[in-house]
Copies of this chain bind each other. A is one copy, B any other.
Amino acid sequence: MIVVMRKDSTREDLEGVQRRIESHGLRVHLSQGVERTVVGVLGQIFDELKSELELLPGVLEVVRISKPYKLASREFKREDTIVKVGDVSIGSEELVVMAGPCAIEDNEQVLSTARLVKAAGAKILRGGAFKPRSSPYSFRGLGVQGLQLLAEARKETGLPVVTEVMAPEDVGMVAEYADILQIGTRNAQNFNLLDEVGKIKKPVLLKRGFSATYEEWLLAAEYVLSGGNSQVILCERGIRTFETATRFTIDLAAIPMIKSLSHLPVIADPSHSTGRANLVPPMTLAAVAAGAHGIIVDVHPNPAVAKCDGAQALTFDVFENMMSQVRAVARAVGKVPAGMTG
């Protein structure tokens, strides 16, 4: 932490800053430049110190140097974290495709989709039983019944399943059915929920808050990691910007950026970020080329009658065609397209 003094600060101002720092058992390193004086703070910094120092007379600004997340950082753990689910390794050189309907509607819908996406090379089945919806009047998911349908589809196809959990009190129950628990973008700073999934032993797919900085996103992961659960998969799913022609703006630079800041695996969701089926294949290929460890994508037997986000779901045909391009791009960037022959 570094304290920059105003040009017109006095000798007393400076001594006040030094005394305050030393009162916390920290040490001071003084640097008197041509233009201004800068005070370095040495020792175990705590968060509240920043505003404490900023309010002292003569202080221009206080700059934090170290990142506020630790367990999630690449500096803390140099080697990539690999999350194993079934026979796939998320975070490795494998490219893992997760696919399925946005919301689970009925047995036939889930099963037919599960069989198709498996045949096309997907390794994990996605599907929502609890759906966060902006309007209270929209379809909010089948709940527990949806989880049961997911479990049946897993039994039949062998595909592990990922599904969203929305409330702290549901974590145990959802963990009974799911292989990966998803935290949605609107819960990315629901700290009670993050605490709760930090206590379980199953992988967590942590979507980026649609207005979360990289730092806030990694701090959300830090909640889970510091709770004792080290199996966190990060998922870029689009951020909110001034451009409204797409539902969100997919930030693909997040993929290499997060890989440099953190050891955690990072995947992309081209469906919820764009909100438009015709943009999903190009953004899927772009995410693979950018180095994503996986993608998660909405597929529906008949998007036009989907109960949730039909405009962004791929038909079976489009998904199959896309998967052959995914294999080609994955190989072009040195990835092993997991479970994809041909």
Give A residues with C-beta under 8 Å from B.
2, 4, 6-8, 29, 31-36, 38, 40, 42-44, 47-48, 50-52, 54-56, 63, 65-66, 68-69, 75, 132-140, 166-169, 186-187, 189-192, 194-195, 210-211, 213-216, 219, 222-223, 226-227, 239-246, 249-253, 255-257, 260, 273-274, 277-279, 282-283, 285-291, 303-312, 325, 328-329, 331-333
Residue in chain B with minimal CB distance to A4:
B65
Q: Which of A31, A68, A241, A283 has the largest count of B CB atoms less than 10 A from its CB?
A: A31
A255: contacting residue among B35, B134, B260, B282, CB under 8 A: B282
Residue in chain B with minimal CB distance to A216:
B134
Residue in chain B with minimal CB distance to A277:
B55
Known: A40-B33, A242-B211. A166 touches B192 (CB 8 A): yes
A279: contacting residue among B168, B257, B282, CB under 8 A: B257
| CA of A55 to CA of B303, assembled, Å | 8
Q: Is the CB of A52 within 8 A of B274?
A: no
| CA of A42 to CA of B31, assembled, Å | 8
Q: Is the CB of A245 within 8 A of B219?
A: no
Number of copies of this protein chain within its complex: 4
A56: contacting residue among B4, B289, B304, B333, CB under 8 A: B304
Q: A34-B43, A140-B191, A242-B242 are in contact. List 5 more A-B contacts (CB 8 A).
A: A47-B137, A51-B311, A134-B216, A169-B169, A256-B278
What are 6 inter-chain pairs, A to B, with CB distance below 8 A? A33-B43, A34-B44, A47-B135, A135-B219, A187-B190, A282-B291
Min distance, Cβ A124 to any Cβ of chain B, angstroms: 22
Min distance, Cβ A309 to any Cβ of chain B, angstroms: 7
